[in-house]
Amino acid sequence: MSKTAAIIGGGVIGGGWAARFLLNGWDVQVFDPDPQAERKIGEVIANARRALPGLTDVALPPEGKLSYHATIAEAVQGAQWVQESVPEQLKIKQATLADIQSACDAEAVIGSSTSGFKPSELQQGATRPEQIMVAHPFNPVYLLPLVELVAPEAAPELIDKAKAVLTSLGMYPLHLKKEIDAHVADRLLEAVWREALWLVKDGIATTEEIDDSIRYGFGIRWAQMGLFETYRVAGGEAGMKHFMAQFGPALKWPWTKLMDVPEFTDELVDLIAGQSDAQSGMHGIRDLERIRDNNLVVMMRGLKAQNWGAGALLNAQEHEMRKGTVHGALAADLPADALVETAHRTVPLDWTDYNGHMTESRYLHAFADATDRFMEIIGCNAEYISKGGSYFTAETHIRHVDEVHAGVVITIRTRVIMGEGKKMHLWHEMYDGDRLLATGEHFLLHVSLETRKPSPAAPHIEAALVRFAKGHAGLPTPEGLGRAIGAPR
């Protein structure tokens, strides 16, 4: 059964929602009366296509179908999820939600992207108030995982459904049990924003200096550990109690102006706008979006390698994406006489070099990941390795056949040239569709992790290797096998 999402309102946030659903395999039906909607949403989706697939080491599902509709009633037909992202005016949102409910499935989730209104305000006059919930994302929606989910009156099964959908999209549903104006994250941002406005108005710091204080300091800490855990660490061995005892009294000092807001005079607006233009005006908005996306992808992939924060969320998504695919299979599930698909992924933005194509080290990275996946297939998994057995690479030869660019979906297929006793000789072929990109020849030895010396593999691993080696022996010999560097093709 196809999955369909309706996007009502296609601005920056609505376009981001459309991209998040579309690139995760959902059909997306859009309503937006703006005559420029298709162009604007298309540009957002283009940025998403460039950035989102590179977050994971498993290829996203085939892209869904995108369509635009003349009315809300047409757009919501058959949708399991309806996301409202119209302007932040309560009457407009209430009228839009009424139009949605008059035509959508009664079982559909209706989420509002509102950054400030409570669900009880959105639900006033609604036919089915319990169907409407706040699903407040963060820009760019196609990359940042957080969604504040607020629905105190919703049935538990509808909340569970909403959580399941968002999780399947690689997002993190933060279920808030009580409603409050501006939810949680925006209230925290508002506090920082108020203080920043005063610092600029009073001439203490420029917009650039304030941004630098965040991006070179606490912003990095917050990205991976949040607020309270950061302060817990700051408390040293004594923990949070010590931190609060040490810095708690400062809360009574007149350091901040959180309950006071500077008047938004023309002078203040011009001052901030002028400083902001001087800070980043040399970049167009699309350039800044791509710079932002590049940085977010690299940071989140760094957290992914540590299995922490947003990175742990990506690893969990990949685990689910592998289920039911060849990437979740074991040796006995695969035919012995066919190449084994050991990777199917998108080349991320940070894998390219100054020439604009995949850097040398990333070819080895991709082939090493394919080797690791093949090891899992034959039973040399984390459990086996924890008991003291593994494979070490002794020799590698990579042939760079064609260029690979960021965003290309690569597939690696693996054959066993030899596999018995202590030895494993693998041949990897990397493709973009039918286009051969590179080959990797790898010779590995099974070792004891206690002695760090070669040792025979466990019988079940050797049996799986021998099975593939015999099956692959009947395949045509690959071009380049055993080739020395510099030898003619």
> By the 8 A CB rule, do 50 and 90 touch?
no
In whole angstroms, give the CA distance from residue 68 to residue 275: 39
Inter-axis angle of helices 185-201 and 266-280, nearest 10: 100
Q: Is 10 annotated as a binding residue?
A: yes
Strands 81-84 and 4-8: parallel
Q: Is 14 annotated as a binding residue?
A: yes
432 to each of 23, 369, 436, how far by Cα in Å?
A: 19, 17, 7
324 to each of 1, 26, 55, 65, 280, how far by Cα in Å?
A: 16, 18, 21, 23, 46
Angle at 13 between CA 9 and CA 17, to 5 degrees: 85
Q: Is 9 annotated as a binding residue?
A: yes
Q: Is 12 annotated as a binding residue?
A: yes
Dihedral of alpha carbons 238, 241, 245, 248, sign: positive
> By the 8 A CB rule, do 404 and 368 touch?
no
Dihedral of alpha carbons 475, 477, 481, 486, sign: negative
> By the 8 A CB rule, do 364 and 396 touch?
yes
In whole angstroms, give the CA distance from residue 134 to residue 148: 7
Q: What is residue 60's DSSP assignment? A: P
β-bridge mates for residue 423, sequence order: 420, 445
Residue 259: is it exposed, middle or buried by C-beta count within 10 angstroms (0-12/13-18/19+)? exposed
DSSP 116-169: S--HHHHTTT-SSGGGEEEEEE-SSTTT--EEEEE-TTS-HHHHHHHHHHHHHT
Nearest one of 120, 169, 337 to 112, comparing CA atoms:
120
Structure tokens belonging to residue 462: 């050797």
Residue 59: is it exposed, middle or buried by C-beta count within 10 angstroms (0-12/13-18/19+)? middle
> By the 8 A CB rule, do 200 and 206 touch?
yes
Which region holds residue 481: left if phi is over 0, alpha if psi is between -120 and 50, else beta? beta
Nearest one of 466, 468, 461, 467 to 380, comparing CA atoms:
461
Q: What is residue 176's DSSP assignment? A: E
Binding-site residue positions for NAD(+): 9-14
Which residues line the annotated binding site? 9-14
